[in-house]
Amino acid sequence: MITLKEVTNKKELKTFVTFPFQLYKNSKYWVPPIISDEMATLSKDKNPAFLHADAHFFLAYKDETIVGRVAAIINWTEINKQHVKKMRFGFFDTIDDIEVSKTLLDKITEIGKKHDLEFVEGPVGFSNLDKNGALTFGFDHIGTMATWYNYPYYITHFEELGFLPEKEYVENKFLFKTIPLERFTRVNAIITKRFKLRASKFTKTKEIIPHIDSMFDLFNKSYSKLSTFVPVSDAQRDYFKQKFINFINPEYIKFVFDENDKMVAFAIVLPSFSEALQEVKGKLFPFGFLKLLKAKKNSKTVLFYLIGVEPQYQNKGVTAIIFNEFYETFKKQDIETCIRLPELANNLASQQIWKDFDCETIKRRKTFRKELN
């Protein structure tokens, strides 16, 4: 018999967070989160997402053994301002038992119906900057700190329980040596002169901080037309600053400004922490922090996390400025591999940015939807 228990205290929340460590202990592809960071993400007193969202966390038990978990999330900005009556679920993990998945997902539908919502979708987080999508292809590729990993049977469970694919995301890889430098050098010279643009060059984190708010303004503007978009609030901006700033090399953040010093484009790249995170097993102390710091300085793989362009400059070659800057940075760092983190498969604007790269799709992931009527 499967029973559910809602998380009600910090001890139970830690059990919720650490369940995947048991589930994936024999997987060489799963990348564990930092336990303290994951706890903060799911804590009402730390994550500002809870200012406009509700979340409930459930653990599934079978014979007193934990066999699954799920988060039920309601984003009220999405419902009340965007009029999308979505019941979200995320942080979904389970053993290969369809009854466990059914019990967990039945709870999600129950909460959705209670709030008169129209459909369930997941796995997703609180917002666009959270992890989303269940892996459907590429199970034999190592995960990243910015994505969820799952076993193939998750997809079978969703389908057997009546969930249909909703959105598809792709992750791509290209080698640094294949970057078409000559094209970007030429276009960079033309675009910077034509539109009177300039690129940033940062070497210290403190130089970036004054521009972060402008970056989020541009993020909200450039991503607003995507079907998944929920604006990032001011409180979330501050939270993400604190959460991610120490993981990003200053030289891996690029801004493009116009002649009036207005930001018109940005890009954020992360060093890969995957192997280091597997080594530290979710713990920063006593030596985990040092291993992550080493990976930050020495990783030969980088992850393209976000790229945003002012709508009026889209499709005008502005990204050539960014890529030209990254080429120079990556060359100095001896970068070998570049990974594009999940992008909507139907995001034609994003695909256009990368059309000149020799990219290989290494992973696909989907969210799944079920109507509540």
Q: Residue 340: what pLDDT? A: 95
Predicted model pTM? 0.93
Instruction: Please report which confidence band the pLDDT of residue 225 belongs to, taking 50, 70 and 90 as the band edges.
Output: confident
Q: Residue 194: what pLDDT? A: 95
Q: Between 66 and 185, name the one with better pLDDT.
A: 66
Domains within the chain, CATH numbers bracketed = 2-170 (3.40.630.30), 174-364 (3.40.630.30)
pLDDT at 227 over 70: no
pLDDT at 120 over 70: yes
Q: Residue 231: what pLDDT? A: 75
pLDDT at 310 over 70: yes
Tens of pLDDT along 343-352? 999 887 777 8
For the chain, give the mean pLDDT: 93
Distance, CA of 134 to CA of 169 (rounded, Å)? 9
Q: Residue 368: what pLDDT? A: 98
Q: Between 103 and 357, name the one with better pLDDT.
A: 103
When pLDDT is averaged across residues 310-338 and rounded to a whole number, the result is 93
pLDDT at 328 over 90: yes
Tens of pLDDT along 143-201? 999 999 999 999 999 999 999 999 999 999 999 999 888 888 899 999 999 999 999 98
Q: Residue 260: what pLDDT? A: 96
Backbone angles phi, psi at 85, to 5 degrees: -85, 70
- The 3 state secondary structure assigned to the chain is CEEEEECCCHHHHHHHHHHHHHHCCCCCCCCCCCHHHHHHHCCCCCCHHHHCEEEEEEEEEECCEEEEEEEEEEEHHHHHCCCCCEEEEEEEEECCCHHHHHHHHHHHHHHHHHCCCCEEEECCCCCCCCCCCEEEECCCCCCCCCCCCCCCHHHHHHHHCCCEEEEEEEEEEEEHHHCCHHHHHHHHHHHHHHHCCEECCCCCHHHHHHHHHHHHHHHHHHHCCCCCCCCCCHHHHHHHHHHHHHHCCHHHEEEEECCCCCEEEEEEEEECCHHHHHHHCCCCCCCHHHHHHHHHHHCCEEEEEEEEECHHHCCCCCHHHHHHHHHHHHHHHCCCEEEEEEEECCCHHHHHHCCCCCCEEEEEEEEEEEECC
Q: Residue 81: what pLDDT? A: 87
Min mean pLDDT across 76-90, 151-165, 193-207, 236-250 is at: 236-250
What percentage of the chain carries pLDDT values higher than 70?
99
Q: Between 322 and 234, name the one with better pLDDT.
A: 322
Distance, CA of 5 to CA of 103 (rounded, Å)? 11
pLDDT at 129 over 80: no
Min mean pLDDT across 166-170, 205-209, 271-275 is at: 205-209
